Amino acid sequence: MRVILALPLTLAAGLFVAAACGDGEEAQPSPTATTAASATVAATATGHPPAATETPAPFQGGREPVEKQVTPSANVPLLADVRAASHEGFDRVVFEFREGLPSYRVEYIQQPIDCGSGFGSEVAGIAYVQVRMTPAAGHDETGTPTFGSQEISPSLPSLVQAVQTCDFEGDLTWVIGLNAEADFRVTELGDPPRLVIDIAHP
């Protein structure tokens, strides 16, 4: 599902300008995330038509845990892709699934833990956002991984690295390593199902 939000601006002269913002993966916000855009119009001294200037919307997020419970389906959601990119004002991590989205909890943690050993897991960065998804898996019934890599290291303004720390008995967990604590927001996309984590730039 693609959702485009726009705010109208009416001028005294009756000119209507609508500014819509998108970044290639337009997200349907969870209750903790909002998207906004605004436009300003300035007249030129030469009498040319007014030009619209897009004003970046402030990042809307927080640092409290974000959690959503999803009714389990017959098929366990399988991780198909993990990718990251930088956008104006924030970095984005996308978890793409087959068979729908799982339940999830996204929160800051003190130390990444490997669920197999119970020992600390090495993730680059000095602050950590954990994304725990259940029931979900990063492998199929034969044990073959459904996504080729268990870590990505994009070295973006906020996001340093993301590492899979658990894929066991329906528990799929990734930890996002950051340069510093920052606000985050969680959104969802469809076709294909995607869980999106945005981290504000420092």
Tokens matching residue 66: 């974000």
pLDDT attached to residue 51: 55
pLDDT attached to residue 9: 35
Question: How would residue 148 be classed by pLDDT, with cut points 50, 70 and 90?
Answer: confident
Indicate the range of 12-16, 47-51, 136-140, 196-200 predicted with least confidence: 12-16
What are the tens digits of pLDDT across the range 158-183?
A: 999 999 999 999 999 999 999 999 99
DSSP H or E stretch at residue 95: strand 90-98
Does domain 66-200 fall under CATH 2.60.40.3500? My reply is yes
Domain locations in the chain as residue ranges? 6-55, 66-200
How many other β-carbons are positioned within 10 Å of the β-carbon of residue 133? 25
Indicate the range of 38-42, 104-108, 144-148, 189-193 predicted with least confidence: 38-42
Tokens matching residue 75: 């098929």
In the chain, how long is the greatest CA-to-CA distance? 70
Question: What's the mean pLDDT in 45-61?
Answer: 66
